[in-house]
Amino acid sequence: MKLLILNGPRDPRQIHCPPYRGTYRAHPTHCEQLPDDSEINKLFFWFLEEGGELGMVRNLDKALRFAELWNARLKPEDRFEVVEVVDRLAPSESIGQFIGFDLCSGYNNSLLSSGLTLGVGITHLAEPVRNIVDLLSRHYAPQLNGQGLFQDVELASLCLRDMIALQSLSPALYEGGDLTEFRPVGLYLTTRNLASA
C-alpha cells in the first residue's frame, strides 16, 4: 500500500487556485513545540526514514496516528489526511473513499495542482500556443471534480496526452523535462475518519 500524509497547498502561490486534493500538497513536519522523544516527533522521524524524498509510506496505522496527532494541534481547515495512491485502475487496498485521478510524476508532482491554468508567463508564449493552451484549459478544467482531479482515468489519460503534445510545441510549458514521466494515479482517502481526531 502506498500512502501519503497531506494537507494544504505546498506552494504558497497556490492558495488562490481552485480546490485541489491531489498529491502535490504539504507533508507533515517536525513539531518544534515538543521534544524529539514525543510521540509526534518519533512518528516524524519514522516518516522521514520510511517516506524519504517522496513522503510515501506503507504503514497505515502509523500514518493515521501521525495525522491524528497533528490534527489535534491544527485548525479543521488545515488538517492532514492519509491518502492511498494507486496506479491507474488498480484496486484500493485500504478500501478508501475515491477522491479522483491526478496526473503525477513520483507522487510529489502534479500537472493538476494549478487547476490547469497557467500563470502570467502565458503572455510570453506565441499566440498560436496561447490559443491552444486556452483551448485545452477550457476543455479539461471544467471536467475536474470538486477535488481538482479527474473522475475518470480515460479522461485523465487524454488530458495528459494533449499536454504532452502541447509541450512538444513549447518546451517547459507545464514542467521542465519530459511529461511522459507523468501518469494517472487514483487517490483514496483512507477508511478511518480523521475529521473526528
pLDDT digits (tens, 9 = 90+) for 98-119: 999 999 998 888 999 988 887 6
Look up cell 493538476; give the residue. 112
Dist. CA 60–CA 58, nearest whole Å: 6
Digit-coded pLDDT (tens) for 143-193: 999 999 999 999 999 999 999 999 988 888 888 778 999 999 999 999 664
What pLDDT does 121 receive? 65
Sheet containing 56-57, strands listed edge to edge, beginning at the edge strand earlier in sequence: 56-57, 3-6, 81-87, 183-189, 97-104
Q: Read off the pLDDT band of 197 (50, 70, 90).
A: very low
Provide the 8-state DSSP code for 172.
Answer: T
Average pLDDT rounded to a whole number, residues 117-123: 71
Sign of CA dihedral 98, 99, 101, 103: negative
Amino acid at 113: S
CA distances (Å), 95 to each of 58, 64, 68, 149, in order? 15, 15, 19, 19
Average pLDDT rounded to a whole number, residues 127-144: 92
What pLDDT does 19 receive? 83
What range defines the domain where residue 32 resides?
A: 3-196
What pLDDT does 13 receive? 52
Digit-coded pLDDT (tens) for 52-80: 888 999 999 999 999 999 999 999 888 99
Number of domains into which the chain is organized? 1
Digit-coded pLDDT (tens) for 11-40: 555 554 568 999 999 999 999 999 999 999
Dist. CA 100–CA 115, nearest whole Å: 14
Contact 60, 190 (CB under 8 A): yes
Q: Across the strands, what pairs with 103?
A: 184
Which of 6, 11, 73 lies closest to 41 in space, CA to CA? 73
**pTM for the model:** 0.89
Dist. CA 97–CA 84, nearest whole Å: 10
